[in-house]
Amino acid sequence: MDVVIVIAVLVFSAILHEVMHGFVADKLGDPTARLMGRLTLNPIPHIDPLSSILIPFLLVVSGSPIIFGAAKPVPVNPIYFKEGRKDMALVALAGPLTNIVIAVTASVLLKVAPTDSLSLISMILYTIVFYNLILAFINLIPIPPLDGSKVVGSLLPDELASTYFSIEPYGIFIIFFLLVSPLGGFSLGGLINKLLILSLKLLGL
């Protein structure tokens, strides 16, 4: 039951994350996601069997301290944007900011939920808070192709930005390595856990 709840929360939170990417892109002039039917809460167009189901399931059952998943990325075509990389950064920020809003909203609802911390409603709301914070923090990591890299790239000169984004094919491997292998005393997983603890305290949980 716990595994089902976690995966359901991850999948629908990731879908909302992607829908908001497409929504903001549409508002900035790029209709691609809308025309491809991706501005919908229907999970079918968004589900990726690997990143939406298999990866979070394996992370949950393996007892990994950091569990995340992703929906199929919405298509974005920056040729429609008036301000190129700046608009791309706004589109990128829309995803993790959506997860933060979801987490804050769920934390408020949790405070008015049944007082029994073991109740199903409380457990679901806490799961929503916890995993939306994880999705936000991971996506804000400034390593291509994550959303944080689009923000950093928008601040760099064109040539340096091109070099920076050239590591995108290797980005996912870099992220996994940093999550599981401390480097010189630095642990990305440890940093995310500290941010989670701090955020949960700020939310009064």
Whether the CB-CB separation of 95 and 139 falls below 8 Å is answered with yes
Integer Rg of the chain from CA: 17
DSSP secondary structure letter of residue 79: G
Selected catalytic residue, list 18, 83, 159, 168: 18
| Rounded (10°) CA dihedral 77, 7, 47, 78 | 0
Burial (CB < 10 A; 0-12, 13-18, 19+), residue 158, is: exposed
Q: What is the DSSP letter of 52?
A: I
Q: Is residue 18 among the annotated active site residues?
A: yes
Question: Which residues have a catalytic role annotated?
Answer: 18
